[in-house]
Amino acid sequence: MKIITTVGEMQEAITAEKKLGKTIGYVPTMGYLHDGHLSLLNHARKENDIVALSIFVNPIQFGPTEDFATYPRDMDRDEKVAREAGVDYIFFPTVQEMYHDEISVQVTVQSRTDVLCGSKRPGHFDGVATVLTKLFNIIKPDKAYFGMKDAQQVAVVDGLIRDFNFAIELVPVPTVREEDGLAKSSRNVYLLEEERKDAKELYQSLLLAQQAITSGEDRPEEIIRMIKEHIGTHTGAEIDYIEIYSYPELKAVKQLHGKILIALAAKFTKARLIDNITMTLS
């Protein structure tokens, strides 16, 4: 495994691999790797000759109230996890290397961002799309792997790849879950003991919704009511949102059909958790 810190060296390494006819699987991260990232790396390892991992805490996707400086970082641990996962290259640039003194051109995302978590984080996905545009051009992967836990991000990346004509296959990877169904997240450690027991009900509420839809319920408002009632009955969490959209377009639907996303966010004492499921209906 090789750790590379400059754009030029990373481009040279990838160009050499491609000249040998090797396929490149790419996992972009901000580091502090967990089981969700490991799942992405495992998928990439199985499907490609070369696995590239980037670790870059991207300052331009942080809002004014989000502290870029205190975002968790542990490169020693990340290096160990990456090595064990069979990563070939870690791209680990500095902010100066990626952006120099100022940004003269930035990507603006026009759709899929005014709902779900994006509605509360203006400019966030512009920062995500800008850094991914740079990283895609540096690493030139054949396949890029993203976790469906953040389904909105996957939708935005889908639009970025399509609209900018990147020759990249987007590979959405299913959410990694604990044994009781709770979506794995670094935020889970902030749950109080009783809250951790209750948190599994978030996913249970989505499964309840899935069962109702499979049984014929096609009214979004009724599904949202069921999820809200289940969470309210079984947890002390404050519901941030429960929303249903077409996927990946993230457009409102009056009746459930086609591919849909059912997503929720809930606030516990010290943690805000998100979860979702997708369904394809006739």
Q: Which residues are catalytic?
A: 37
**Environment class of 64 (CB within 10 Å of its CB; exposed 0-12, middle 13-18, buried 19+):** exposed
| C-alpha span between 153 and 131 (Å, rounded) | 13
Helix-strand-coil split of the chain, %, nearest 5: 45, 20, 35
105: amino acid identity, one letter: V
Give SS3 for 149: helix
* Residue 242 in tokens: 């429960």
Cα separations (Å) of 92 from 95, 121, 128, 262, 270? 10, 26, 17, 35, 31
Helix (H) or strand (E) holding 7: helix 7-19
* Residue 12 in tokens: 């040279």
List binding-site positions: 30-37, 61, 147-150, 153, 176, 184-187
List binding-site positions for ATP: 30-37, 147-150, 176, 184-187
List binding-site positions for (R)-pantoate: 61, 153
Cβ(24)–Cβ(111) below 8 Å: no
List binding-site positions for beta-alanine: 61
Concatenated DSSP letters for 177-234?
Answer: B-TTSPBP-GGGGGS-HHHHHHHHHHHHHHHHHHHHHHTT---HHHHHHHHHHHHHHH
Give the count of beta carbons closer than 10 Å to the beta carbon of residue 103: 12
Give SS3 for 77: helix
